[in-house]
Structure 1
Amino acid sequence: MSRLRARSWLFAGSIACAFLLQLMPLPPLVEPFKPYWIGLVLVYWAIETPERVGLGFAFLLGVAADLLVGELLGEQALRLLVIAFIVLRFRARLRFFPVWQQSLALLALLLNDRIVMLMARGFSGEPMPPVSFWFAPLTGTLAWPFVFLLFDDLRARLRAHE
């Protein structure tokens, strides 16, 4: 398998896994702790391969997520667009942070994502969510080192087989 094809499979497979993890049903008690997997994967690829992940890609990924999840059409598209814009804007700094500092930056990104989500849902007339609404950014922050190291390891293994 060619190097380009293997990288494309890793890219597409990671996005497909993020969609599957996002769609995975959890018990009601654990559901508020589910990280925003699509956002985490988008952040990784925006940091590592910005030529492949642009604002248009983030928007299309969000529309696909909206259609799959069945939420307000355009909500996740807006959320992922904002995330991608911020990551691409500060990519040069984020890329060279240690993983623990990237996790803190990701916490700020995910909290900002929740605020954008609150605004979008508020404009559609939904009531204020419960306090558990704010748990997902914390678990996303805790999941980031594992996501980052997993994808970095997979990419290093692909480079080693070239």
Structure 2
Amino acid sequence: MSRLRGSGILFYGSLGLAVLLGLMPMPELLAPFKPYWLGLVLIYWLLEAPERAGLGMAFGIGLVADLVFGTLFGEQALRLVMLAFIVQRFRPRLRFFPLWQQASAVFALLLNDRVIAAAVRLFSGETLPPLAFWLSPLTALLLWPWLFLLLDELRLRGRARES
């Protein structure tokens, strides 16, 4: 019982922190480089704890994120479900890639997420996003190894403490 509670704190805590980081304002010059924190954290949990994170969880988190971020209701839910589906489909391969290859895959996943976000915005009547809109996946490419190592260390420490 305590094992589930301890891992649940890290799971929900990391997702909550990702939402808070997504809300954090940045200088206008650096704003295009802000990574999609929620997507990055969800990818980690889909790879390392697929029994906790799935399509339903991604949809629920996306709806909450839509409410918190004030985006079109269902946009983030759609984006996270698509992301979760692709990660689940390729999980056996992705999980065993070296970190640099995982980072490249995360870049491709988050670039795909940007395509979906742009499509949703176009269908809702907005104009094409500026070129700076596409810079966020580059930041995620650079952050992925560090985020993966941090969350993995915290998860393994929590598991060792529960034993």
**TM tier, smaller:** over 0.9
Aligned to 2:22: 22
Paired amino acid for 2:46: A
1:66 positional shift: 0.5
Q: Which runs of 5+ in 2 are unaligned?
A: none
Is residue 63 from structure 1 mapped to residue 63 from structure 2 by the alignment?
Answer: yes
Deviation at 1:68, TM superposition (A): 0.3
Q: What residue identity is the alignment partner of 1:59?
A: F
Work out the CA distance in 2 between the residues paired with 1:20 and 1:80. 17
Question: What is the number of residues matched between the two proteins?
Answer: 162
Please state whether the residue corresponding to 1:52 is helix, strand or coil: coil
Indicate the residue corresponding to 1:31 in structure 2. Answer: 31
Q: For residues 67 and 108 of structure 2, what CA distance do their matches in structure 1 show?
A: 27
Deviation at 1:154, TM superposition (A): 0.6
Give me the whole-angstrom Cα distance separating, in 2, the residues matched to 1:20 and 1:75: 18
2:124 aligned residue: 124
| 2:73 paired residue number | 73
Q: Does the residue aligned with 1:90 lie in a helix, a strand or coil?
A: helix
Partner of 2:141: 141
1:99-142 C-alpha deviation (Å, 9 max, x unpaired): 10000001110110000011100000101111100110100111
CA distance in 1, matches of 2:156, 2:60: 28
Distance 2:127 2:100 in 1: 35
Provide the secondary structure at the position in 2 that maps to 1:35: coil
Amino acid of the residue matched to residue 112 of structure 2? N
In structure 2, what is the Cα distance between the partners aligned to 1:70 and 1:159?
Answer: 36
TM-superposed deviation, 1:3: 2.1
Q: Percent identity?
A: 61
Query: 1:11 maps to which residue?
Result: 11
CA–CA distance in structure 2, aligned partners of residues 29 and 52 of structure 1: 37
Where do 4+ consecutive residues of structure 1 move more than 4 Å? Answer: none
| TM score, norm. by length of structure 1 | 0.97
Q: Deviations over 1:73-101 (max 9, x none)?
A: 11111100100000001101111111100
In 1: Cα distance, 2:56 partner to 2:152 partner = 24
| Alpha-carbon distance between aligned partners in 2 of 1:31 and 1:73, rounded to the nearest angstrom | 22
State how far apart, in whole Å, the 2-side matches of 1:66 and 1:38 are. 12
TM-score, with normalisation over the residues of structure 2? 0.97
Q: RMSD of the TM alignment (CA)?
A: 1.0
Aligned to 1:82: 82
Q: Equivalences for 1:89-108 in 2 at 5 Å? A: 89-108=89-108
AA aligned to 1:9 is I
